[in-house]
Structure 1
Amino acid sequence: MDLFGDLPEPTQTSGPVSAARPRSTKEEEEEEEEEEEERLKRKREDAEGHADKKEEEEEEEERGKIKKVCKEGLPVLRGYVAARRGEREEMQDAHVLLPDMSVCLSALPGQVSRVSYFAVFDGHGGARASRFAAEHLHQILAKKFPSGETGNVDKLIKKCLLDTFRQTDEDFLKTASSQKPAWKDGTTATCVLVVDDTVYVANLGDSRAVLCRTEATGGADGRRRSVTLALSKEHNPTIYEERMRIQRAGGSVRDGRVLGVLEVSRSIGDGQYKRCGVISSPDLRRCQLTANDRRGAWSRGRG
């Protein structure tokens, strides 16, 4: 409590005081009321000031917590898509853009503040496999994604991606085989998972992922040039390792295609070719984003 809170404020006079005039009881009461109002006003201001200060401290503490959770300086991610149906009767390509995948995750690993997901699926033999993968693959990934305090995040994410592709393929094949007649659709898959500033690419088939990066030319003029970095690996039967696996499984490669028909050697779906060495295990690559990275492109296929 302010020890001087009950004292009246000094009053200004318009001129010299020559003599004191006795105050009436009414004047004294009015002055006491004014003093009481002023004292209460000061108390309210002190209380409001204390509340404002406490609120500022709480806001500052909250900002500190946010800074601990969200890392500053992360690259801004934007997704754009364009598609055009080719000569087929239906669009067989599908895509997913999730700049903020955290809405699908139950929790993030302790040291991670952002997860983004982008994917393109180029279907063949129909649109059911590509649509199935676009709808389910990221949901399966979200369930398997590491959470809480984890050790080797890279290792866990790699296992998570491999398990996700395998389960997506198994789930679709189970659905496809239960139909009458059985579905024979298949699809490529190129998925880009961005964890903070690290890019993980999982792909199978022949849809490509590339990264555009600027680098110095080395000249005295300080000029820079743009280079493209491949983030995916094509899987087709003409590649030696892919052809050997198909032949060991009892299949054959004719005219650059599995059994002379299928143009890719890895895919989701294509149940009739799984016994011929066509697998759903993706290639995995990792890339650290830098300030020199400008754009990435993922092929839309030929749907």
Structure 2
Amino acid sequence: MDLFDDLPEPTQPGGPVTAARPRAGTEEEEDEKEEEEEEERRAKRKREDAESEADKKEEQGEIKKVCLPVLKGYVAARRGERDEMQDAHVLLPDMSSCLSLPGQSSRVSYFAVFDGHAGARASRFAAEHLHHNLANKFPSSELRADSENVDKLIKKCLLDTFRQTDDDFLKKASSQKPAWKDGSTATCVLVVDDMVYVANLGDSRAVLCRMEAAADGQRRSVTLALSKEHNPTMYEERMRIQRAGGTVRDGRVLGVLEVSRSIGDGQYKRCGVISSPDLRRCQLTANDRFIILACDGLFKVFSADEAVKFVLNIVQEGSGERRAGLTEEEVQFEAACQQLASEAVRRGCADNVTVILVSIGFRAKSSSSSSSQHTQFD
């Protein structure tokens, strides 16, 4: 399926085209025939000119029939062997009500997983406030329409959003008696029309399932990493922590904290633990099936590719039980999400497990479009 569906068929000339008559002997009939042939030639030239102009506009991006993604989110959460569920999550397939921007024309979706540690207050705070901060800072449709680089606007929006959310939580945490020591990872997927922006702190992850044609003519799944993990054993992360005066022992900051970037963790901010997310983008195509967002509880017992294939097998088998109000596809994705989280616990993960599964479909909408590839922001 082509992302840019073809243009409308060229407009046909008014009235039926008269079939060519047999050659007649009278001068009047000959004149009439020549007139009809000339009319047909003019109509043909008109069609060719219209097609040429349409092709030219399509090349310039002036006329596009874009297939925009239709996203639906499913969530499954398991406490595992922990005494408390410290994960939090948000599913907003349509953020338009939160954005409240006049003239807003884009479809904006938001999905996020927050994996708390040393308590659940940081993860819950981020789940409650981060998308509201994002909505307040999100560039208006007018500004995005006039901008030569929308990515720069959204990058700044995401960086500012994470910084404010962290600052707000640290301020609240330090005002408590005793001060809160909670922290949280954050993996947020923001979809603007057909462009996915992923902001990640810590060791939760986001992966995309894309179907591609193989050499034997069959379609195979390809797993694309949409996020980068942050832990103190990574060279750049360790160097930043050491430059800030911190140390890394047993793969942890000061021998305690497993992640090198987070929201909260006020006692480690002086040691180089920061709240600046890694930012990536990826344009969705009609070959994309779903996105998995999950905390590290899932990926302790599943590789990214194993998780994608696990979901794909359930969706393709169609073994889910029918439920009122849900389509067959929705039943399969719901079943896949629940079974993936349960399987992580069955495989021995003692940690909290939260999985968000986002199905991807497409619908047509007339628009201009740009072609961006999967990449990391500079």
Asked if Structure 1 and Structure 2 have the same fold, meaning a TM-score greater than 0.5 normalized by the shorter chain, the answer is yes
Contact 1:129 1:185 in 2 (8 A): yes
Q: Which amino acid aligns with 2:71?
A: L
Residue 334 of structure 2 corresponds to none
For 1:101-125, what per-residue CA distance to the aligned partner results, in whole angstroms no more than 9, with x for missing partners?
Answer: 0100121676x42000000000000
SS class of match (2:162) = helix
Q: Which amino acid aligns with 1:269?
A: G
Matched, 1:163 2:156: no
1:108/1:193 CA distance change after superposition, 3 Å: farther
Residue 227 of structure 1 corresponds to 222
Residue 51 of structure 1 corresponds to none
Residue 94 of structure 1 corresponds to 88
Mapped to 1, the partners of 2:90 and 2:284 lie a distance apart of 21
1:93/1:290 CA distance change after superposition, 3 Å: same
Equivalent in 215, 218, 226 of residue 215 of structure 2: 218
Residue 68 of structure 2 corresponds to 74
TM-score, with structure 2 as normaliser: 0.60
Aligned pairs (5 A) from 1:63-212: 73-107=67-101, 112-150=105-143, 151=147, 152-212=149-209
Matched, 1:247 2:247: no
TM-score, with structure 1 as normaliser: 0.74
Give 1:87 shift.
Answer: 2.4
Matched, 1:292 2:287: yes
Contact 1:109 1:146 in 2 (8 A): no
Residue 274 of structure 1 corresponds to 269
Higher relative contact order (CA 8 A, sep 6+): 2
Mapped to 2, the partners of 1:154 and 1:108 lie a distance apart of 21
Q: Which amino acid aligns with 2:266?
A: G
Mapped to 2, the partners of 1:274 and 1:98 lie a distance apart of 30
Q: What percent identity do the matched residue pairs reach?
A: 84
Contact 1:199 1:289 in 2 (8 A): yes
Give 1:181 shift.
Answer: 0.3
Mapped to 1, the partners of 2:241 and 2:141 lie a distance apart of 40
Please identify runs of 4+ aligned residues in structure 1 that moved more than 6 A: none
Contact 1:102 1:108 in 2 (8 A): no
For 1:259-282, what per-residue CA distance to the aligned partner results, in whole angstroms no more than 9, with x for missing partners?
Answer: 000000000000000000000000
Gaps of 5+ in 1: 1-70
Mapped to 2, the partners of 1:203 and 1:257 lie a distance apart of 19
Q: Which amino acid aligns with 1:262?
A: L
Q: Which amino acid aligns with 1:103?
A: S
Q: Which amino acid aligns with 1:291?
A: A
Residue 47 of structure 1 corresponds to none
Contact 1:83 1:300 in 2 (8 A): no
RMSD: 1.7
Which of these two proteins has the greater Rg computed from alpha carbons? 1
Gaps of 5+ in 2: 1-64, 297-350, 353-378
Residue 251 of structure 2 corresponds to 256
SS class of match (1:227) = strand
Residue 374 of structure 2 corresponds to none
Give 1:76 shift.
Answer: 1.5
- Structure with more of its chain in strand, by fraction: 2
